[in-house]
Each structure stands twice: as structure tokens, then as C-alpha cells.
Amino acid sequence: MDLLSLARTVKDRVEAPITDVLAVAKVVTDPRTPLLLALSTVVVTPLYRAAFLASASGSGVLRCLAVRPCDLESLAEYLEVPEDRERLRTWLETGVRLGEFEVREGCYRLRSTTAKLLAQSGNDAVAAALEEIMRFHLPVLLDAPRMLKEGRRFSLDDQDGTVIARSSLALQGLVHEAIDRTLERTTPIRLLEIGCGSGAYVRHAARLNPRLTALAVDLQEEVAVRAADNMTEWGLTDRVETRQGDLRTLELQPQFDLVTLHNNIYYFPEADRVEVLERARSFLAPGGRLLLTSSCQGGGNLGLDVLNLWFEYADFGGPLPSEDELVAQLEKAGFADVRASRIIPTQPFRAFVGTNVQA
Ligand SMILES: C[S@@+](CC[C@H](N)C(=O)[O-])C[C@H]1O[C@@H](n2cnc3c(N)ncnc32)[C@H](O)[C@@H]1O
């Protein structure tokens, strides 16, 4: 090595760390760096985790891994991925990187407590709520200004009815309490449930009153089919008929002692609600009652605010009801003795009861 080369090497060795330090200093003192770091930690990483968990839950991967650790091949088989194992691996490895999964002896396992909890069947409503938030709430937050500009609205097809039917069971405790307070336990009862979702509340009513029989109806075909399957699984087909149907066009005699609408009054535009409630009343026998449960305006619940926003941007439905407005609409629809009651003090969730006194 000649002297000049030696000098150059020494100079390079000495300068490299200096250059590194300068580069680091430049990046660190960039005024955008703290914002980027804060965003990444506080906003982006939790969002990535939530999206990954929603996808792992919705695809069934969480449940699958909760039963036993799985290698890439068995997960590909489970997910019916015909080829392209490497892209599946990249997705799984992202889950590892996010701390939700881990790999041991070539098999993927659940790692985070959240992933383990979401995989439990008792937490299905919470897992579905996470999916609802990621798939349906985020688009309205992301696209509202663009939708306004383009005159675009969400339609019922933008919701997955079966996910909503599961997520809405997060309110189960509140709805059960409303049913417990209202349902006659010993006399034979004929129940009509409109917008039955999973059918879980008809099941609850049938358990409380062994002489109850019911017609459960839902607008969405796939939801009604799933509810009918549930009735079969729960051994209720001799007491409960389940079918697809729209409240606005149902042809039924005034034969029911109780009509229930749980968590769906906001599927109807505000201007149509009196008419909708009149129709619900027309199915009641004289003296029959309506039980309607719903989350209402106010209460400072951010999730409900975004749900409200979604319905504001949909081409069907309308905002969550306000308690006073809905009481007035029930009275206008001909119900007597209308009462709104709160179930627990902190929740903007109300049970509305009205009686059909007309023959
Ligand atoms: C948020 S989900 C609630 C499901 C169930 N009641 C519960 O609380 O778990 C609302 C349901 O109402 C149904 N629905 C909406 N409009 C309807 C209509 N016009 N007739 C019958 N069902 C309707 C939807 O298809 C959907 O399944």
C-alpha cells in the first residue's frame, strides 16, 4: 500500500463515524422527526395492530391458532389459499413483527393477550365489533369529504350483515335487561321480532317464557339464514319461525302480544319512523306491546358518534334517535302509555315500551 492509499484509508476510517454522527444529528434534529415518531407510536402502530387482529379474527386464523399452533402449510389449507404461500408467510410474519403472533419450531402461535382473548368464543361480539370498526367505521372517517364531493353514499351492501349481527351482541347485557323487565313469563306469548340479527334475543325470550312462540324476521337474506341455522342449533325450530322479510312490506295479521325491535330504528330515515312504528303497531293484538331498544344521541360515546356519522352518510337509515323525539314518534304512531327507561346510568341506551290500545 502506498502512502497516499494509506492516508486515504485512515481518513475514510476516521471520517465514516463522523459522517454517521452528522447524518444521525441531521435526522434527529429534523423538526418532523418527533411528529413522525409520536405518530408511529401513538397512532400508526395501534392502528396496524387493530387492522391485523380484525383480519386474523375475521378470517378465523385466531380461532385456529387458539386450538393449536400451525405451520404455514396447515394455515394455507385452513384459509383455502391454493398457492402463493410466500405472500401468506409475509402477512403472518407481519403479525409476528406486531407482537400478535410468535413462531416456535416452525409453527405460528398466538402471542399477545389481546389476540388470545379475541380468539375465545365468549368474546366473539368484541372480535366482531373490532371488525365492524375497521371495515365500516374507518371508511366513513377516511372518505367523508370525498363522498360529499362525489355525492356518494354508503348502501346496505357496504355492511356485512353477519358481522353486524355478531357485533351488535356486545349490547347483550343491556338488551337482556330490557327484555327481562318487559316480558310476561307465564302466559302464552306470541312474539314478532323485527331485524332479529343472530336471533339471540328471541332465544333469550324463549328461555324466559317456555310458552312463548315467535316469528323472527330480518331484512338481509344471509342474516335471516344464519338466524334460522342458529334456531336449529338451539333446538327452537318448533317454537320459532325465522324468515327474510322487510318490516315495511310484511303482510301479517294483528296477532302478536309483543313486537320487538332491537338496535335497528336508525336503519329507517327519521322522516319514515312514525310510519314504521305504525306498521309495527298494526301487527299487535289489542293490548299488545312494543319493546324497542336503541342507543340514543348524547352520552359522549365516541363509537356511537362514528356509528351516527356512518348512518348520516348512508342512503338508508338516519341518525341515532333522541329519547324525546322517539317518545313523540311512538305516541304519534298511536302507542299509549309510552315509557322510555335507561338500563344503566352511564349508557345512552334506552328501552322504549308502548301499548296498542286500538282494536
Ligand atoms: C344492528 S342489527 C341488530 C340485530 C339484532 N336486532 C341485535 O340487536 O343483535 C340491525 C338489523 O336490522 C335489520 N333490519 C334493518 N331494516 C330492516 C327492515 N326494514 N326489516 C327487517 N329487518 C331490518 C338489519 O338487516 C340488521 O340485521
Pocket flag, ligand 1, residue 354 (CB < 6 Å): no
194 and 328 part of one domain? yes
Q: What pLDDT, on a 0 to 100 scale, did the predictor assign at position 154?
A: 97
Q: What pLDDT is stored for residue 84 in this prediction?
A: 86
- Judgement on whether residues 96 and 178 belong to the same structural domain of the protein: no
Last residue in a domain, options 61, 86, 119: 119
279 and 176 together in one domain: yes
DSSP for 141-208? HHHHHHHHHHT--B-GGGS-HHHHHHHGGGGHHHHHHHHHHH--SSS--EEEEES-TTSHHHHHHHHH
Whether 154 is covered by a domain: the verdict is no
- 169 and 270 belong to one structural domain: yes
C-beta of 246 in contact with ligand 1 (< 6 A) = yes
Same domain for 110 and 181?
Answer: no
The rounded distance, in Å, linking the Cα atoms of 36 and 200 is 45
Given a contact cutoff of 8 angstroms between Cβ atoms, the answer to whether 252 and 191 are in contact is: no
Q: Tell me which residues of the chain have a pLDDT lower than 50.
A: 1-4, 6-7, 10
Ligand 1 centroid, distance to 231 Cα (angstroms):
17
Same domain, 113 and 166: no
Which protein residue has the closest C-alpha to ligand 1 atom 24? 195
Of 96, 119, 142, the residue that ends a domain is 119
State whether the Cα torsion 42-44-46-47 is positive or negative: positive
338 falls within a domain? yes
What whole-number distance in Å separates Cα of residue 202 and Cα of residue 124? 19
Burial (CB count within 10 angstroms: exposed 0-12, middle 13-18, buried 19+), residue 344: exposed
pLDDT at 15: 59
Counting the structural domains of the chain, the total is: 2
pLDDT of residue 30: 86
pLDDT of 1:
43
Q: Could you give the dihedral angle defined by the CA atoms of residues 82, 87, 88 and 92, in that order, rounded to the nearest 10 degrees?
A: 180
- Structural domain for 45, as ranges: 33-119
Residues 208 and 312 in one domain: yes
Whole-number Å distance, alpha carbon 164 to ligand 1 midpoint, is 9
CATH code of the domain containing 99: 1.10.10.10
Q: For ligand 1, is residue 132 a contact (CB within 6 Å)?
A: no
Q: List, for residues 299-340, the tens digit of each pLDDT value.
A: 788 999 999 999 999 999 999 999 999 999 999 999 999 999
